[in-house]
Amino acid sequence: MKRAVFLAPLGLLLLLLLAFAMGLGRDPKELPSALVGQPLPAFALDALEPGSAPLASAALAKDGEPKLINVFASWCTSCRAEHGKLVQLAAEGVPIYGIDWKDEPAAGRAYLAERSNPFRAVGSDPSGRAGVELGVTGTPETFLIDGKGVVRMRHAGPIDEQVWQTKLGPMLEQLRAEARA
Amino acid sequence: MGAEIGHFALILALLLAIAQAGFGALGHRRLDPALMAAANVSAIAQAGFVALAFGLLMQAFAVHDFSVALVASHSHSLQPFAYRLAATWGNHEGSMLLWVLILSGFSAMVAAGGKTMRPGFHSLVVAVLGLLAIAFLAFLLFTSNPFARLFPAPLEGSELNPLLQDPGLVFHPPLLYVGYVGFSVAFAFATAALIEGRVDAAWARWVRPWILAAWVALTLGITLGSFWAYYELGWGGWWFWDPVENAALLPWLLGTALLHSALVLEKRGALISWTILLAILTFSMSMVGTFLVRSGVLTSVHAFAVDPERGIFILMLIAVSTGGALALFGWRAPTMRSGAMFSAISRESALTLNNLFLMAATLVVFLGTFWPLVIDLVTGNKISVGPPYYNRIFAPMMIPFLALVPFGPMLRWKSDEWRAVASRLKAPLLLAGLVLLAAAAASFATFGWRGLGAALGFALAVWLVAGSFALLLRRWRSESGLSARLVRTTPLSTWGMVAGHAGIGVMVAGITAMAVFATSEVVALAPGENASISGRTVTLQSAGVVQGPNYQALQARFLIEHNGKPRTLVSERRLYPASGNTTTEAGIAASISGITYIAIGDETNGRLAVHLYRHPLVGWIWVGALIVAFGGALALADRRFRAGLPAISAAPRVALPA
Amino acid sequence: MKHRLVFAALLLATAAGAVEPGEQLADPALETRARAISTELRCVQCQNQTIDESNAPLARDLRVIVRERLLAGDSDEEVVAFVQARYGDFVLLKPPFSAETAILWIGPFAVLALAGYWLARRPRSAAAAEPQPLTAEDEAQVDAALGHVRKD
């Protein structure tokens, strides 16, 4: 008993070191979304292209189709890196909607005009208020919405092949299966 | 060539550290003076080679040797000379070299001194320090070589982070590291004592100066860091409870506990295993602090190169050193002599209580820093622990603790009477009580409950200062009034203790004033316009761009008028074109009553965003901390202390409470 | 994660006093409440700062939102809940009390109480507190040490 008391510090140290070792590889800045499992919060954004249909959460939630909502900005370099992947996914039939976050609409339009536009519709959020509703912490950020309009997953950072294959792709398949059932 | 010689010197130092550990261990076993001397010589030579390496790295910085990768990435040819030199430790590799240099320095001092110590034990301490040196030199050489070359050498280096181009960088890291690393000596003493299975008053006598030296340096380092953050970050705060600050506070709290428990061990032979454990934990916490800053495990405002690989190395290093020491502790400590008994009302009890509170405070900071990590790993949830948490938990713990401080030195060893102690402290108690009532009456009407909090804080401050000095007065009083002879013969260590405790009182006054009475305003001013803060009129006189050696600055001049007395103040925002970074150089007008602090922001429509702060008594926080450190230095200067004399005095002088 | 790192670098550089003049509310009482709330909310875009201190664009947005909610008549708790609902517990610098965080709030006091209890009931006897006699080795040491001092 007495010895156990004297060995306790060693045990605590080993636990602490274990925690540190597990914590080493991870990114302390990566945050879970408070929205996962919640219905898509309400927002209604003007279309980035004047004359196009606006982007409203109510409409996005209604059509029964699982989809991606991608938050991007023309000033964001990582968004450029993931753009090709988005275009490829759109070509494969993945429905992607865009939110041009904290950006001059003109700059956002120019950004999309220079590249092909992977988005079914793009809302302009120059004040970033829709982003706040979504709990956006930076660009790019992508949300997966199921057929009932519930946020099921969030990915912060650019989407690349690996992220798609291991994280977002399988989830989209699952949501599509749920929507069919 | 210099870099290669430096690298080679480090390799030699590593070999010498191996020799130091080997000879030391053998010397301990065989009690062979030749082997012991060899260990000592190895330690001293090792320090010499590390110093050579450090000097060569400094020289590479001084002469812009951009072929050394470290220089190229942390020095720009326009960087002023002092900051080129200080850049030596303004980065990961260089700061680790500084760490190793200080470790070797302490190791050499222990090797060279210690004439009064039992030779076998001394040799064992030197051996343990050698083991630590091996670990850190290996870390340096294998993961963080400061002398790596760059080929081809760039023509220009990239600038040291401008936030670091400040006099703070010249003194803050070295002092902090002397503190962190200084505790390695206590660690080595504790480990050696466990190996020998013997701890006594002499052990405590030998180790206390080392603890005290490290503690003084750490106190100064933290104080300087706090002041640096205050004027450089531009938010006008003196403590942010940032993980990296906590990493320095943890060994400080433990070191403070150690300082007091070692006193009990020295004077009374009690708290033996506890003191050993504290000595191990204090240095371990210093290492955890190093790990924390460099591993990227926690998020902090402190920018440090983050590298998980180094993190793993440091983790292994902690696992082996601390783990080894704690395993020894678990094995040996239960069989060691348990200490002398003492009554509930005694100096020993007071010091034990001190340790208890400091451990609880350590736990607050430790949990606040690391518990979010544990929750994240176990549940995946992210939580934050910030100032609102610490303010609610740390302060309520500190107030009763500090209120007990003046009782400690007034208590007799072994056993005392409550009533007698209270009567010795009658005057300070009365004074603090009066302050409490007067301040409460004065401030409740204006500030409500916050005013009561302030009254409590100021009364606590008065109590700490008066209670500490009461000890001196008591000591000096003889039958015929104050005795000049008694004043003269007051030992420096007593002066040191009084200063240490009174300094805390000065800090409490500053912290209280900051917490309750600090005010701030944000205004937009055009030149010629004014705003007011705490009865002071602040006029923006002019704003314009000025050119510094390696930066351009938006400089604003302010006129502050208070009670008809004008004072000017300059506040800057600097742009460092080499790196594109900007910094804030807040303007500070300081007096004994507080600091008027002005930071400038962006200009819109010809108006400058101006952040005005009035921080009453804020300077007392740092001055108080300096007094605390000065007290430690006084005690360190005490001749009885340096003599390394075993604490077994023939005739106890019962009459004197000190 | 690159974009986040870039943000971080920018932030650190321009950390100077974050609240801008235009953001402030005309009503001093509301503004004081807004400042107090802001110092309890963590900026999600930064390293480790409150939204009151941070110059990050998102911190600014949140400061504005805090003030809008206050103007709309929300209580302090409602404002905090509004932000918490969108960004999670992470934004609360004062962690909410729960099974997970109980140790933070109770742990230190529990240790203090337990150790205090142990200290109060440990065996104590003035009679037992006599110093132990010196061993021969101790005596030798005292002699050696005293000799050393005399040489000084």
ipTM for this model: 0.84
Q: What is the mean pLDDT of residues A146-158?
A: 89
When mean pLDDT is compared across A56-60, B59-63, B389-393, the lowest value belongs to A56-60
Give me the residue from A34, A77, A127 closest to C86, CB to CB: A34
- What's the CATH class of domain A32-180? alpha beta
pLDDT at C9: 33
If one counts every other C-beta atom within 10 angstroms of the C-beta of residue C10, the result is 18
Q: Are strands A96-101 and A67-72 parallel, antiparallel or unpaired?
A: parallel
CB A98 within 8 A of CB A142: no
Whether residues C75 and C117 share a domain: the answer is: no
CB-based contact, B47 to chain C, within 8 Å:
no
Whether residues C67 and C105 share a domain: the answer is: no
CB-based contact, C65 to chain A, within 8 Å:
yes
Q: What is the mean pLDDT of residues C123-138?
A: 53
| Domain coordinates in residue numbering, chain A | 32-180
Whether residues C24 and C76 share a domain: the answer is: yes
* Cβ distance of C6 and A135 shorter than 8 Å: no
Mutate to test the interface with A, among B376, B378, B384 (most CBs of A within 10 A): B376
* Cβ distance of C1 and A139 shorter than 8 Å: no
Q: Is C10 inside any structural domain? A: yes
Q: Smallest CA–CA separation between B507 and chain C, in Å?
A: 23
Taking contacts as CB-CB distances below 8 angstroms, the residues of chain B near C101 are 371, 375, 383
Q: For chain B, what percent of residues have pLDDT higher than 70? A: 94
Whether residues C22 and C65 share a domain: the answer is: yes
Region of residue B563 (phi > 0: left; psi between -120 and 50: alpha; otherwise: beta): left
Q: Smallest CA–CA separation between B56 and chain C, in Å?
A: 31
A31 alpha carbon, distance to own chain's centre: 11
Q: Pseudo-torsion of CA B327, B243, B93, B256, nearest 10°? A: -60
B to C CB pairs, distance under 8 Å: 194
Cβ-proximal residues to A90 (8 Å cutoff; 6+ apart), any chain: A96, A118, A119, A120
Whether residues C56 and C7 share a domain: the answer is: yes
CB interface of B with C, residues 482-541, below 8 Å = 522-524
CB interface of C with A, residues 32-61, below 8 Å = 44-45, 47, 57-58, 61
pLDDT at C45: 78
Cβ-proximal residues to B132 (8 Å cutoff; 6+ apart), any chain: B103, B107, B184, B187, B188, B321
Q: Smallest CA–CA separation between A25 and chain B, in Å?
A: 7
Give me the residue from B342, B381, B599 closest to C100, CB to CB: B381
Helix (H, G, I), strand (E, B) or coil at C50: strand
Mutate to test the interface with A, among B254, B291, B298, B315 (most CBs of A within 10 A): B315
User: What is the radius of gyration, based on Cα positions, of chain A?
Assistant: 20
When pLDDT is cut at 50, 70 and 90, the band that residue B169 belongs to is confident
Q: Is C151 inside any structural domain? A: no
Q: What is the mean pLDDT of residues B455-459?
A: 94
Q: Is C14 inside any structural domain? A: yes
pTM across the whole model: 0.90
Whether residues C59 and C104 share a domain: the answer is: no
Chain length of chain B = 658
Q: Say how far apart CA C115 and CA B353 lie, in whole Å.
A: 9
* Cβ distance of B291 and A20 shorter than 8 Å: yes
CATH number at residue C80: 1.10.8.640
Taking contacts as CB-CB distances below 8 angstroms, the residues of chain C near B343 are 124-126, 129
Q: What is the mean pLDDT of residues C6-31?
A: 61
Give me the residue from C16, C49, C132 closest to B599, CB to CB: C16
Q: Smallest CA–CA separation between B618 and chain C, in Å?
A: 18
Partner chains of A (3+ C-beta pairs under 8 Å): B, C
CB-based contact, B315 to chain A, within 8 Å:
yes
**Among the listed residues C8, C15, C91, the one whose alpha carbon sits nearest the alpha carbon of residue C53:** C15
* Cβ distance of A137 and C45 shorter than 8 Å: yes
* B344: DSSP letter: S
Helix (H, G, I), strand (E, B) or coil at B541: strand
pLDDT at B218: 96
Q: What is the mean pLDDT of residues B385-409?
A: 92
Q: Pseudo-torsion of CA B326, B328, B330, B331, nearest 10°? A: 170
pLDDT at B650: 37
For residue A67, what are the β-bridge partners? A145
Mutate to test the interface with B, among A1, A16, A30, A33 (most CBs of B within 10 A): A16
Q: For chain A, what percent of residues have pLDDT higher than 90? A: 33
Domain carrying residue C107: 96-122
* A49: DSSP letter: S
Whether residues C100 and C84 share a domain: the answer is: no
Whether residues C49 and C100 share a domain: the answer is: no
When pLDDT is cut at 50, 70 and 90, the band that residue B630 belongs to is very high
Cβ-proximal residues to B75 (8 Å cutoff; 6+ apart), any chain: B61, B64, B66, B84, B87, B157, B159, B160
Cβ-proximal residues to B437 (8 Å cutoff; 6+ apart), any chain: none
Q: Say how far apart CA A22 and CA B379 lie, in whole Å.
A: 13
Q: Say how far apart CA B79 and CA B57 lie, in whole Å.
A: 17
pLDDT at A143: 93
Closest residue on chain C to A156 (Cα): C1
Closest residue on chain C to B415 (Cα): C126
Q: Smallest CA–CA separation between A93 and chain C, in Å?
A: 27
Helix (H) or strand (E) holding B566: strand B565-576
Whether pLDDT at C4 is above 50: no
Q: Say how far apart CA B254 and CA B196 lie, in whole Å.
A: 24
* Cβ distance of A6 and B312 shorter than 8 Å: no
Cβ-proximal residues to A146 (8 Å cutoff; 6+ apart), any chain: A66, A152, A175, A178, A179
Give the angle B313-B316-B317 at the CA atoms, nearest 5°. 85
* Cβ distance of C20 and B601 shorter than 8 Å: yes
Whether residues C14 and C62 share a domain: the answer is: yes
CATH 2.60.98 in chain B is located at: 519-618
Whether pLDDT at B644 is above 60: no
Whether residues C12 and C50 share a domain: the answer is: yes
In one-letter notation, the amino acid at residue A180 is R
- In tens, the pLDDT along C33-57 reads 998 999 899 988 777 788 888 878 8
Architecture of the domain made up of B519-618: Sandwich (2.60)
Give the angle B377-B381-B382 at the CA atoms, nearest 5°. 95
Taking contacts as CB-CB distances below 8 angstroms, the residues of chain C near A41 are 86
pLDDT at B397: 92
Whether residues C103 and C83 share a domain: the answer is: no
Give me the residue from B318, B329, B377 closest to A22, CB to CB: B377
- In tens, the pLDDT along A41-95 reads 888 888 888 888 888 888 888 788 899 999 999 988 889 989 999 999 999 989 9
Q: Smallest CA–CA separation between B464 and chain C, in Å?
A: 22
Count structural domains, chain C.
2
CB-based contact, C152 to chain B, within 8 Å:
yes
- In tens, the pLDDT along B469-508 reads 998 888 888 777 777 788 888 888 899 999 999 999 999 9
- In tens, the pLDDT along B445-456 reads 888 888 888 999
Q: Pick the last residue of a domain from C91, C108, C137.
A: C91
CB interface of C with B, residues 6-45, below 8 Å = 8-9, 12-24, 39-40, 42
- In tens, the pLDDT along B295-310 reads 666 666 555 556 667 7
